[in-house]
Amino acid sequence: MVAGITSLGRAADKRYSLWRTTGVDVLLQEIEKSRLRVSWATDAKHKTQLGQFLTPESTARFMAAMFPDASSKKCRLLDAGAGIGSLSSAFLGRCVSGGLAFTEIFLTAYEIDSVLYPELRETLSSYTKKLPLSYEIKGEDFIERAVNCIQFGAEKGFKHEDRGQF
């Protein structure tokens, strides 16, 4: 198991180094500054009640580097707990730098904390100038939504290749 994680880590590190040198760095660094500001300004009790964890830039970049090269021209991306958009931004940063080539990207971002919506909108809209991106922000709990879809009938879901719907 460790060997598999290590080789995956090496592949992610290689992709990460390829897109790190682009102008996307500046945008991701600005989002990191916003993350720190929002995190410090948000009451710990509020974060605990919402299960809120704003993903650090380094973690977001690492996770985005794990996405395999695009096997499809269209991408439907789900950010189930978007926060200010750190994870989505790291993924979109890979797309901007040429690491992932899509002709169309549709992103659905779920976030239950309405205080974060302006930051999230700003983060995502900054990529619409660089990518064929459209997005929607849903102000509801993704897990609750998914359970309701399973129990009461699913709408069009999210897929990763042909491994099944989420």
pLDDT tens digits, one per residue of 142-162: 988 888 888 887 665 555 444
If one compares 93 and 59, the residue with the highest pLDDT of the two is: 93
DSSP state of 68: P
pLDDT number for residue 136: 96
pLDDT number for residue 43: 64
- Sheet architecture: strand order including 74-79: 74-79, 104-110, 133-138
For the entire predicted model, the pTM comes to 0.70
pLDDT tens digits, one per residue of 9-49: 443 344 344 444 456 676 777 777 776 676 676 666 765 66
On average, the pLDDT of the chain sits at: 75
pLDDT number for residue 100: 87
Largest CA distance in the chain: 47
Do 120 and 82 meet the contact criterion of CB atoms below 8 Å apart? yes
Q: Is the pLDDT of residue 139 over 70?
A: yes
If one compares 65 and 7, the residue with the highest pLDDT of the two is: 65
- Smallest Cα–Cα separation from 20: which of 65, 50, 53? 65
pLDDT number for residue 9: 42
pLDDT tens digits, one per residue of 89-116: 999 998 988 888 899 999 999 998 888 8
